[in-house]
Chains A and B, each alone.
Chain A
């Protein structure tokens, strides 16, 4: 196993251990807690919070991936070329639009809880996937496309068998960016009532319990870093293939 692979395995094992046995963190948390404070978040089991957090990010990632790739394919077809400038401008705007603003705008539309966070995650996660799908499909060399046409592949077959596989690593980069951003945004989503690890941090901030803050922050950071490293490895494997 490579060094990067070992690092990922170690971090992932640490994350799983801290989720299943939160009390392993107590010695560290004791360093920062005031005497007599509760060390470990006990209003909900950490397992449940992590499960919801991951479910939220994964569901939004699936929606973002499906819609983003579909839109990316549409605007790169000749029939969708009119929408290219609009699509490009919206992508640019997406990069300037802060994730928290999307969350803030989703709340009046959908109320508090799971839904606004899910909508914000889908909307924001869509942009990197879409942008990278367009970049990946445009990056397919014209000679390759010619060759595919020469082999007698029809439009849809060319897309499915040649263009999308070649663009896959770039699309996956978009999915990775969107996943990492969404893990963070889902954390902020706890301020509007989404169930997730953000709850631990926010409870700590509200009650002045630094141990909660540290516990939540470490878990969220580990989760994001593991997701980033794992998706990077898949990308690299796809590039090689």
Chain B
């Protein structure tokens, strides 16, 4: 068993080290558009040989260590060394370079960072921790990273230089993205939960509702945005008062409606599945205690169905964080603005500045929901 877990650990450590050995960890470019020269972590000009050795030792530590806690510590330590070395390396490279020169993260960095993070996640998964311990295992490194970011350790990297010049756009995109995701979730819940109950209460409703929502889900996002521009545009022309609320053919309104429509299927299907999965004996017990239909729903059925319903909401939130990026095409705002503008200018730092927060938000949301689901499951079993 132990040997097996060791071999499994090598699955992360070896690709991480191979990535750093074979691919540049930083790219040095004359300006933000051109492609540049790779800098290896082990080359003298990278100036990170000691860091590279420490990193290799820690990465191999994840393979040799027996205790999962030590493996976790080694993986996080290696990740910290990697981040520190890209920050320092970028600062050293740009110290005596012209102003337009950019130092960006290279393929070696991304591969090593991904596999080291996976190694840490693997160790956490094998430690079988409780929900709160898992959250702190995630939040503590994230907090350390945030402090280093604030302290300016990474300021020489091109993605942060890009942030510096686009600070206002970035902040607006963050607000816009959250508005799209939360603004679509609330109406989707208000409509989806009752519809899910209707599916549970009547098989005939189910036969109509679920296939119809399936059809909506199948429609590609950009087509959905396009199709919704028309009715909303017509609505705002017919009722000018709505225009003051920001309802129109382009902008956030069609995006929010489209995201809410996409959210319906997972919410309705999981509400139905959750309610249908409540054991009949539980229902009988509630009825035997003299509960009314409404009390039975609120006190017995919904709490027992909560983990399944939350799983549906988790799917919706994660999916909509990604889909909201497409909303930028119809002027809906959000991080997609940065992505599409970056693609238009062939400025990959700008694309990354939009992409990284989207992925981070999606991963954070799914981890938080996992903990919430676990907590409700435990509450239900009590």
Contacts and interface: CB of A to CB of B under 8 A. Distances in A.
Secondary structure of the A contact surface, majority rule: helix
A198 B222 contact: yes
A187 interface: yes
B230 A225 contact: no
A96 interface: yes
Contacts, number: 133
A95 interface: yes
B355 A104 contact: yes
A85 B127 CA distance: 13
Given A107-B343, A187-B220, A218 B227 contact: yes
Secondary structure of the B contact surface, majority rule: helix
Contacts of B125: 85, 89
A224 B11 contact: no
B218 A228 contact: yes
Contact of B221 (A81, A184, A225, A228): A184
Interface size class, chain B? 35 or more
A89 B219 CA distance: 28
A98 B322 contact: yes
Contact of A224 (B219, B226, B322): B219
Interface stretch (B161-169, B239-247, B359-367): B359-367
Given A98-B359, A192-B343, A108 B351 contact: yes
Interface string A85-126: 110011011011111110011011000100000000000000
Interface stretch (B57-65, B85-93, B146-154, B325-333): B325-333
Contacts of A214: 226-227, 230
Interface of A: 32, 81-83, 85-86, 89-90, 92-93, 95-101, 104-105, 107-108, 112, 180, 183-184, 187-188, 191-192, 198, 201-202, 204-205, 210, 213-214, 216-218, 220-221, 224-225, 228
A154 B351 CA distance: 51
Interface string B211-235: 0001100111111101101100100
B322 A213 contact: no
B229 A221 contact: no
Given A180-B218, A216-B226, A85 B8 contact: yes
Contacts of B7: 82
16 contacts: A82-B7, A96-B365, A98-B359, A104-B342, A104-B355, A107-B343, A180-B218, A184-B223, A191-B343, A198-B222, A204-B226, A213-B229, A220-B222, A220-B223, A225-B215, A225-B218
A86 B227 contact: no
Given A86-B118, A187-B220, 5 more contacts: A85-B122, A85-B125, A100-B325, A187-B223, A224-B218
Given A96-B318, A107-B351, A187-B223, A205 B330 contact: yes
Nearest to B215: A225
B4 interface: yes
A213 B229 CA distance: 9
Contacts of A201: 222-223, 226
Given A213-B229, A214-B227, A188 B326 contact: yes
B153 to A, nearest CB: 24
A217 B329 CA distance: 13
Given A184-B220, A204-B226, A104 B339 contact: yes
Interface string B302-342: 00000000000000001001110110011000001001101
A185 B374 CA distance: 33
Contacts of B28: none
Interface in B347-365: 348, 351-352, 354-355, 358-359, 362-363, 365
B121 interface: yes
A104 B11 CA distance: 27
B272 interface: no
A146 B118 CA distance: 35
A96 B323 CA distance: 11
A191 B218 contact: no
A86 B16 CA distance: 13
